[in-house]
Amino acid sequence: MTGGLAVRLDHTLSPDPRRVVVKLFVPGEDAALVRTRAQSLIDRIALLGEQESTRLLRQVMERFGDRHAALDDIFLHHYDLVRHRIAHPLELSRTARLLVGAYFTHEYAVEAAALCNPSMVAHPDQSGLGAGQLRVAISLRQIGEGHLSSIGFATAVLGPGRRLEVADRTGPLLIGQRTAARHRRDLLAAGLDESDCDNEISATVLDLLPERYDDATFERVVADLPADLISRSTGPSTVELLRRIRSDSYAAAFPDGTRLEQQVLWPATPPESNGMEDARFVLFAGEDGPVYRATYTAYDGRRIAGRELASADLRHFEIMPMRGPGAANKGVALFPRAVGGRHLALCRSDGETIGLSTMDELSRWRTPVPLHTPRHAWELIQVGNCGSPIETEAGWLVLTHGVGPMRRYAVGALLLDLDHPERVLAELPDALLSPDGTERDGYVPNVVYSCGGLVHDGDLWLPYGASDARVGFATVPVDRLLAAMVRRPEAG
């Protein structure tokens, strides 16, 4: 039995309802009303007068000003978003505009329902540390009202030894602001191929676009298309499809000086409108230097879609779709470097089997090669990865999750060949980590689940969600874990 390998640490992260962001709030409408409630509300605010508006605004700022950064700017932005509802444009003072913005704003507790499914990578700032220490960035799936998921963060220092210190997570939160995106032509081409769209209009646009392009360049190329192309029956629908595929990619950034634990990546496009789930971060060794990459599941309330984000500094993020059959389900996890010139990812495209997918020349993830199917009692329902593979001298260490009776989730492990990861060398015969008596109750009972750990000072550090009630941490010496694995007969 291997249940004693992993040692749980005392430190945990629990959902904190004080961690709130501000969002646009528009009162619900009654279909029987001719005038909208929003329009009536604005009219009532306009009648308050400057003195009363000033008094009310001062109350709002006293109650909420220290909970959010740049609240004035947010109120004015929300006013701009609803001002079109005013039937007859009014000359409102700045105070009145701010007050309108306040009435059309609400707080949302990003992790009031649950906090779970963490991943861990080395932090971009390693200054001020002592011997045996490593600063790490921890991504978190935070779930609020309506089961809406966003991506949050924590910062911690590992070591020396098994010491863990998590930085304070209090303070105003900020949602990443949309910035100009540099779109990739290859992803546009892959999206067109996935949509089975191949005609003269799409081919012409692809031919005229540079490898990386912005929105203005795209619109200029579309505007300059020959009239005889646009006038064809497929013209409007093709241009609409091109715009929709392009809009799947966007960028978000945070102001300089924002602490990582204050940052929130919030759903920003229709495919992710109901959540950004289970981000698996990895520090990828790219041709131009290391870059943070992560895969996550976008959910619109009915369908799921694979998404990837990239960042050089964990402050500016580029978000893009993932294409191809290998990205058709949840649980995609990128390898931390190319292997034999191939870009690889673990996936679970059939919903129950861990597979290995390779990116093709059109940036599509190919149909995966099966690696591990449900075979042990604790994983007979389904298996999947618990984050990106971790490189060791013995091979690629893959943390897995398995689902057993009563939908009980546990963590296991595989070992893949370093040069040929499609070969499974060994596996842990039993679960490495299972829900204990203190972890079985929560928002989703009987679950331990991770989106990725790392190796530091000879130990595997594993953050994990415990029944979505809180995040725990465990460690295990890598050499002991490898020694406990059983070689697969087919590995020779």
* Structure tokens that stand for 393 in this block: 């001298």
71-86 residue pLDDT tens:
999 999 999 998 887 7
- Measured CA to CA, the distance from residue 424 to residue 426 in angstroms comes to 6
Question: Taking the alpha carbons of 126, 131, 137, 143 in that order, is the dihedral positive or negative?
Answer: negative
Asked if residue 256 and residue 340 are part of one domain, the reply reads yes
Claim to verify: residue 241 and residue 256 sit in the same structural domain: no
Q: Are residues 308 and 191 in the same domain?
A: no
At 302 the pLDDT is 93
pLDDT tens per residue across span 40-49: 888 888 889 8
On whether both 83 and 200 belong to a single domain, the answer is: no
Name residue 398's amino acid: V
147: DSSP letter: G
475 in any annotated domain: yes
The residues with which 213 forms a beta bridge, in sequence order, are 183
Global confidence as pTM: 0.94
207 part of a folded domain: yes
Max Cα distance, the chain (Å):
83
Q: What's phi and psi for 410, nearest 5 deg?
A: -140, 165
CA nearest to 19, candidates 172, 231, 204: 172
pLDDT confidence band for 38 (50 / 70 / 90): confident
- Average pLDDT of the residues in 322-340: 95
At 485, is the pLDDT very low, low, confident or very high (cuts 50, 70, 90)? very high
Using pLDDT thresholds of 50, 70 and 90, give the confidence band for residue 220.
very high
In this structure, the answer to whether residues 222 and 296 fall within a common structural domain is no
The answer to the question of residue 233 being in a domain is: yes
Residue 91, pLDDT > 90, answer no
Is residue 328, in this structure, part of any structural domain at all? yes
Residue 1 lies in a domain: no
Residues 240 and 122 in one domain: no
- Confidence bin at 90 (pLDDT 50/70/90): low
How many domains would you assign to the chain? Answer: 3
pLDDT in tens, 179-211: 999 999 999 999 999 999 999 999 999 999 999
295, 254: one domain: yes
In a domain, 391, yes or no: yes
Question: Are 69 and 167 found together in one domain?
Answer: no
2 belongs to a structural domain:
no
- Peptide linkage before 445 cis (omega within 30 of 0): no
What 80-84 contacts at long range (C-beta under 8 Å, 24+ apart), as own/partner pairs, is 81/24, 82/24, 82/26, 82/38, 82/42
pLDDT at 261 over 50: yes
* Among 394, 123, 433, CA closest to 281: 123
pLDDT at 2: 54
Domain span including residue 203: 182-247
Instruction: Report whether pLDDT(35) > 60.
Output: no
Helix (H, G, I), strand (E, B) or coil at 433: strand
Cβ burial, residue 146 (10 Å; 0-12/13-18/19+):
exposed
Contact residues for 96 (Cβ-Cβ < 8 A; gap 6+) = 45, 46, 48, 50, 53
Summarised one tens digit per residue, pLDDT across range 427-469 is 999 999 999 999 999 999 999 999 999 999 999 999 999 999 9
Phi-psi region of 204 (alpha: psi -120 to 50; beta: other; left: phi over 0): alpha
Rg of the chain over all Cα atoms, to the nearest angstrom: 25
Structure tokens at 277: 């789930």
Q: Is the pLDDT of residue 358 over 70?
A: yes
Residue 87's pLDDT is 63
Q: Closest by alpha carbon to 87, among 49, 34, 50?
A: 34
For strand 174-175 and strand 263-264, is the pairing parallel, antiparallel, or unpaired? parallel
Given 59, 76, 109, the domain boundary residue is 109
Q: At 355, phi and psi to the nearest 5?
A: -130, 170
Report pLDDT for 3.
Answer: 55
pLDDT at residue 266 tops 70: yes
- CATH code where residue 353 lies: 2.115.10.20
Residue 146 has pLDDT above 80, yes or no: yes
Claim to verify: residue 134 and residue 186 sit in the same structural domain: no
DSSP structure class, residue 70 = T
Same structural domain, 394 and 267: yes
Percent of the chain whose pLDDT exceeds 90: 86
Question: 467 and 406 in one domain?
Answer: yes
Which of the listed residues 247, 279, 294 is the one where a domain comes to its end? 247
Whether 375 shows a pLDDT value over 50: the answer reads yes
Does 262 share its domain with 309? Answer: yes
Q: Is the pLDDT of residue 31 over 50?
A: no
Those residues whose C-beta lies under 8 Å from the C-beta of residue 140, and which sit 6 or more positions away, are 13, 111, 115, 116, 117, 118, 151, 152, 153, 154, 471
Domain stop point among 193, 215, 247: 247
pLDDT at 88: 61
Q: What is the DSSP string of 258-274?
A: --GGGEEB---SGGGTT
Look over the chain and give the mean of its residue pLDDT values, rounded to a whole number: 93
Mean pLDDT of 119-148: 97
